[in-house]
Chains A and B, each alone.
Chain A
């Protein structure tokens, strides 16, 4: 069950939030099944206490956070971010959490640290998709993701421990998940147990599965289509049912270009998709 959190409220926004019931019932979390409604159904037993999140690798002060640390180590703040799925739907979610940069700074990365590798919990007993290739979509688990160090240190990049003012429900990646709002949703890895600073670009789950469809960067980009569908526009999931006229243009970097475009200057984004 979700607990209320103490956090600093986000400033008001004119963006219409996706209702909480939809944020928590429409999830891609293949560890709990392929259908969008599977995770909410199959993940409720996920044990998040005790939890261990380690920060290791090329750091001079490795860190281990237990469950309570996730909520106490850093002041929590609410951030309202757009979430753009690679499948061309999107939501607006009020996350609660802290900057990934704060955690990484505490670990004091060495000069060798160039990338950050993330790993989801591997626990086939609790995660039916990890037990069965049929339920888990043929993915090799644990789910892994990665960022370049400068992407990880960007102030937008967030570790989230809650949404709508409460702790995360399991289907949204309890107890702690990444949120990288200018990248497709699959980069925002859920239920993280390991953050490792590394020298070389780490492997990432969807890139391993279909490298021609999912790149390491996965920046939201209306000009670079997925090989099987267009990324030029998206459907914003809010309210209104079947007749909601919710198709909107997709913006470069999901509208966060001002904050992040400089990270990619001189890079051919059609090649490094």
Chain B
């Protein structure tokens, strides 16, 4: 049963990407496929991240520990979308202009923050294997607490990238703050201990 549901989740995450790139390559998804793939993967990463952050509170609230089995899988899809987002920017927006890429990462705060978030997601994805997790022991959780900081950084990156709308990032802010508030004790303990 779990395998079936997991397969469905994988499909739900993978099929939109296939559809997206198929349309983008064939120039059938709007006038500017580059902008389209960047926005789709970026907001997709944030959406999946919020869903994954909702899992633990939902599992507790409804006493369904089976839900916890979906956290890693969703987390890896967050990373996948974020990776595509970054590669879209480098390949299709900047078209391999490496100098411009370095300049943009350094000069543009919203891109700096985005890269910072990606730099957090990367080790989280790499350490998601059960074997590595076991080897890391307690430090695994310490490391993975950084997802909260990544989530805030991703939101800032999103908000900063927008020309004038505040409504949509506002909705995301409400969702994110709510999800973080649910774990405020855990987060403050972690941040406090780190000093």
Binds A, one of B52-60, B120-128, B163-171: B163-171
Residues in A whose Cβ lies below 8 Å from that of B165: 34, 137-138
Residues in B whose Cβ lies below 8 Å from that of A245: 95
- On whether the beta carbons of B93 and A36 are closer than 8 Å, the reply is no
A239 CB-CB contact with B under 8 Å: yes
From the candidates A18, A239, A241, name the one contacting B24 in the complex (CB within 8 A): A241
Within B74-93, the residues touching A (CB, 8 Å) are 92-93
Residues in A whose Cβ lies below 8 Å from that of B95: 245-247
Within B116-169, the residues touching A (CB, 8 Å) are 160-161, 163-167
Question: With A22-B31, A241-B27, A247-B94 as given contacts, are A134 and B110 in contact (CB-CB < 8 Å)?
Answer: no
Number of interface residues of B (CB under 8 A): 31
Q: Give the CA-CA distance A79 to B32 in the complex, in Å.
A: 23
B 33-68 binary contact with A (CB < 8 Å = 1; else 0): 111010000000000000000000000000000000
Question: With A138-B166, A233-B100, A242-B37 as given contacts, are A228 and B160 in contact (CB-CB < 8 Å)?
Answer: yes
A 211-254 binary contact with B (CB < 8 Å = 1; else 0): 00000000000000100111011010101111101110000000
Q: How far is the CB of B113 from chain A (nearest CB, A)?
A: 11
- On whether the beta carbons of B164 and A241 are closer than 8 Å, the reply is no
Question: With A36-B31, A138-B166 as given contacts, are A225 and B25 in contact (CB-CB < 8 Å)?
Answer: no
- On whether the beta carbons of B166 and A235 are closer than 8 Å, the reply is no
Question: With A241-B24, A247-B95 as given contacts, are A229 and B164 in contact (CB-CB < 8 Å)?
Answer: no
Residues in B whose Cβ lies below 8 Å from that of A241: 24-27, 33
Q: How far is the CB of A19 from chain B (nearest CB, A)?
A: 8
A 36-58 binary contact with B (CB < 8 Å = 1; else 0): 11000000000000000000000
B 93-107 binary contact with A (CB < 8 Å = 1; else 0): 111010010011001
Q: How far is the CB of A244 from chain B (nearest CB, A)?
A: 8
- On whether the beta carbons of A235 and B93 are closer than 8 Å, the reply is yes
Q: How far is the CB of B86 from chain A (nearest CB, A)?
A: 16
Q: Give the CA-CA distance A229 to B166 in the complex, in Å.
A: 19
- On whether the beta carbons of B33 and A25 are closer than 8 Å, the reply is no
B178 CB-CB contact with A under 8 Å: no
Number of interface residues of A (CB under 8 A): 35
Residues in B whose Cβ lies below 8 Å from that of A26: 30-32
A164 CB-CB contact with B under 8 Å: no
Within A58-90, the residues touching B (CB, 8 Å) are 87, 89
From the candidates A89, A134, A240, A243, name the one contacting B167 in the complex (CB within 8 A): A134
Residues in A whose Cβ lies below 8 Å from that of B161: 228
Residues in A whose Cβ lies below 8 Å from that of B25: 241-243
- On whether the beta carbons of B164 and A139 are closer than 8 Å, the reply is yes
A209 CB-CB contact with B under 8 Å: yes
Q: Give the CA-CA distance A201 to B166 in the complex, in Å.
A: 29
Residues in A whose Cβ lies below 8 Å from that of B108: 228-230
From the candidates B21, B35, B110, name the one contacting A89 in the complex (CB within 8 A): B35
Question: With A225-B107, A230-B103 as given contacts, are A242 and B167 in contact (CB-CB < 8 Å)?
Answer: no
- On whether the beta carbons of B164 and A87 are closer than 8 Å, the reply is no
Residues in B whose Cβ lies below 8 Å from that of A34: 164-165
Query: Which residues of B does A touch, CB under 8 Å?
Result: 21, 24-27, 30-35, 37, 92-95, 97, 100, 103-104, 107-110, 160-161, 163-167
Can you identify 23 A-B contacts, CB atoms within 8 angstroms? A18-B31, A34-B164, A34-B165, A36-B35, A134-B167, A137-B164, A139-B164, A210-B164, A228-B108, A228-B110, A229-B104, A230-B100, A230-B104, A232-B100, A235-B93, A241-B24, A241-B26, A241-B27, A242-B24, A242-B33, A242-B92, A243-B25, A247-B95
Given contacts A230-B104, A242-B21, A247-B94, 14 further A-B contacts (CB under 8 A): A26-B31, A26-B32, A30-B164, A34-B165, A87-B163, A89-B32, A134-B167, A138-B164, A228-B108, A228-B161, A229-B108, A241-B24, A242-B25, A242-B37
Query: Which residues of A does B touch, CB under 8 Å?
Result: 18, 21-23, 25-26, 30, 34, 36-37, 87, 89, 133-134, 137-139, 209-210, 225, 228-230, 232-233, 235, 237, 239-243, 245-247
